[in-house]
A and B are shown apart, each in its own frame.
Chain A
Amino acid sequence: EGQLVESGGGLVQPGGSLTLSCAASGFTFGEYTMSWVRQAPGKGLEWVSSIAGVGGRTDYADIVKGRFTISRDNSKNILYVQMNSLRAEDTAVYYCVKDHVARNGVFDSFDIWGQGTKVAVSS
């Protein structure tokens, strides 16, 4: 079964930048759409961004569009998200997630989740 391991979280000041990484194993990484989902303290789940396995199409939640950039290195099986202009409301646990089924042009449910990495934006 596949595994996802996030890293790169930490404390950053408002307006700062941070890059999260997610190392994937146990499945053919390049075939699947990958996404980031976040959860603010005591709150629900929020989809952040997705990147297709083939073609590289990217999508973003409006609240992070223009500030976050999702990317992937299929040769290294690593997913990234570069987060700029961070705000206090970006404070959350960030999960790396894998699409359940590789469906061309259709985004799927998330069957593998990482353990999450915490991002705290505070002065």
Chain B
Amino acid sequence: DIVLTQSPGTLSLSPGERATLSCRASQSLSSNYLAWYQQRPGQAPRLLIYDASSRATGIPDRFSGSGSGTDFTLTISRLEPEDFAVYYCQQYGRSPPFNFGQGTKLEIK
């Protein structure tokens, strides 16, 4: 099974700053089948990025995804107050299980 490891566990930043979140896979992901989700407290997760670098419908362009193979990054260029949440990466494709990373909590400094 592919294991996804996210870092850091918690990231403390201020509004307006740039956030960089990492997701590392235990083996190379075929076709860069990696997604990023945002989960605000008390809400269901929301798809932000799919196929490693494509923004989902309605997602602001301050969110961007990059990477390939085993190393992937979610970047939030300028943090807005509503961006403070938990972020998960997930791998998908042909072979289950479609595991999630353990999450990165982005908190206000």
Chain A residues in contact with chain B, CB under 8 A?
A: 35, 44-47, 50, 59-62, 95, 100, 105-111, 113-116
Contact = CB atoms under 8 A, between A and B. Distances in A.
Contact of B92 (A44, A105, A107, A114): A107
Interface size bracket, B side: 20 to 34
Contact of B100 (A44, A100, A106): A44
Is chain B's binding surface mostly helix, strand, loop or mixed?
Answer: loop
The 5 closest A-B pairs by CB, nearest first: A109-B35, A113-B44, A109-B50, A59-B96, A45-B100
Given A44-B88, A47-B96, A111 B56 contact: yes
6 contacts: A44-B100, A44-B103, A47-B99, A59-B96, A62-B97, A106-B94
Nearest to B46: A113
Contact of A47 (B33, B37, B50, B100): B100
B100 A114 contact: no
A113 B25 CA distance: 24
